[in-house]
Amino acid sequence: MRVGLLTGGGDVPGLNAAIRAVVKRGVGQHGHHIIGFRNGWKGVVDGDIVPLTRSHIRNVLPIGGTLLGTARFHPHSAEDGMDAVLATVENEHVDALICIGGDGTLHAASKIAEAGVPIVAIPKTIDNDVWGTDASIGFDTAVTIATDAVDRIHTTAESHNRVMLVEVMGRHAGWIAAASGIAGGAEIVLAPEQPFDIDKIVRFLKHRHRAHASFSIIVVAEGAMPAEGTSMQYEMQLGQFGQIVAGGISERLKQEIEQRTGFDTRVTVLGHIQRGGTPTPTDRILASRFGVAAIDAVTRGETGVMTALRAGEVDLVPLADIAGKVKHVPQALLDVAAALA
Ligand code: F6P
């Protein structure tokens, strides 16, 4: 078989481990030819291919990013994009595609699967919000980085008697905020799932600083918002492509907290640091398992599916079931974060 492989959307640590697994298993055990497409769906549209042999994947396991490159590009939203994908699949004699991506890339995958191309998807996103899988590649590394940051913020917060806001990624879901907030011992976690009341935050901080502590750490997901009808109004700032402007909500919260409490407050925006560098062993293992499962599924002819981690096992879920859904942080996890304030 000739199998095309691409990585789309934002990069995450662990993508190279998944690419390596697809190539090792695909070439070594199934005898397939694997070709890579550069820069996600853009490479498929442009027919921008790169051969993927065992020599291309040597020593890539611990390296972050993606050796294929990636882009935020959706063929179904581009003029003639779908036709160009179908043309490349035919011209390059591609029997099946494996695409590694988050919500946008997977949405494109389901459209292309509907158009008749055999596809198996692999979920990756540091946001961990792909529906249908307990975990996506990259999340564990991002939580590790964010937790380390919260640990480091602790010592400087305490020395200076400050309120420290640590902003983490998470547009629609606060998985990184909840996980790093619990693991790092933050006093408050603000997630998109649970709009906040600034008055409650201020009351909590005043009480805590009067009663037993001189510092506080608040982990803020970039998509966190004040609850409607509360005393803080905020309009989310969006960039050219609809992305959240990093630091927007945290800078605003800093002003509100300083004005209302008088406590010295600082903001740290972790940004793309959360997506960089060496993947954790957990992400390398997950990516390797997903890579092997994806190429095995392609070989069996089981397509139109996504590899998923479910109760510790790797499973396949129909792509059609995933499109348009977001896996939100459950209330129970947010409750644990709140209980440990
Ligand atoms: O979707 C993953 C993510 O890292 C989000 O958490 C973040 O909002 C966005 O990507 C940033 O995108 P970009 O790399 O395009 O700035």
Instruction: Give 280-321 pLDDT, tens digit per residue.
Output: 999 999 999 999 999 999 999 999 999 999 999 999 999 999
Whether 257 and 155 have beta carbons less than 8 Å apart is answered as no
Q: Which atom of ligand 1 is nearest to the CA of 169?
A: 6
Q: How far apart are CA 136 and CA 101, in angstroms?
A: 9
Q: Which atom of ligand 1 is nearest to the CA of 9?
A: 1
> In the structure, which protein residues have their CB atom closer than 6 angstroms to any atom of ligand 1?
10, 72, 102, 125-127, 169-171, 222, 243-244, 275
For the chain, give the percent of residues with pLDDT over 90.
96
Ligand 1 center from residue 11 Cα (angstroms): 9
For the chain, give the percent of residues with pLDDT over 70.
100
Ligand 1 center from residue 129 Cα (angstroms): 12
User: Which residue among the candidates 11, 103, 127, 296 is catalytic per the annotation?
Assistant: 127
Q: Which atom of ligand 1 is nearest to the CA of 243?
A: 8
Residue 324 has pLDDT above 90, yes or no: no
Instruction: Give 232-267 pLDDT, tens digit per residue.
Output: 999 998 987 788 999 999 999 999 999 999 999 999
Whether 216 and 157 have beta carbons less than 8 Å apart is answered as yes
In the residue annotation, 127 being an active-site residue is answered as: yes
pLDDT at 277: 97
Cβ within 8 Å of residue 111, ≥6 positions away: 75, 76, 82
User: For residue 61, how many other CB atoms are within 10 A of its CB?
Assistant: 17
Q: How far apart are CA 275 and CA 205, in angstroms?
A: 31
Ligand 1 center from residue 10 Cα (angstroms): 6
Residue 75 has pLDDT above 80, yes or no: yes
Instruction: Give 206-215 pLDDT, tens digit per residue.
Output: 999 999 899 9
Q: What is the mean pLDDT of the chain?
A: 97
Q: Which atom of ligand 1 is nearest to the CA of 127?
A: 6
Q: How far apart are CA 15 and CA 11, in angstroms?
A: 7
Ligand 1 center from residue 18 Cα (angstroms): 20
Q: How far apart are CA 118 and CA 288, in angstroms?
A: 21
Ligand 1 pocket: which of 136, 171, 172 to mutate (most atoms within 8 A of CB): 171
Structure tokens at 27: 């070439």
What is Dmax (Cα atoms) for the chain?
71
Average pLDDT rounded to a whole number, residues 17-24: 98
Residue nearest to atom 3 of ligand 1 (CA): 10
Residue nearest to atom 8 of ligand 1 (CA): 171
Whether 334 and 194 have beta carbons less than 8 Å apart is answered as yes
Ligand 1 pocket: which of 12, 103, 105, 127 to mutate (most atoms within 8 A of CB): 127
pLDDT at 341: 86
Ligand 1 center from residue 223 Cα (angstroms): 11
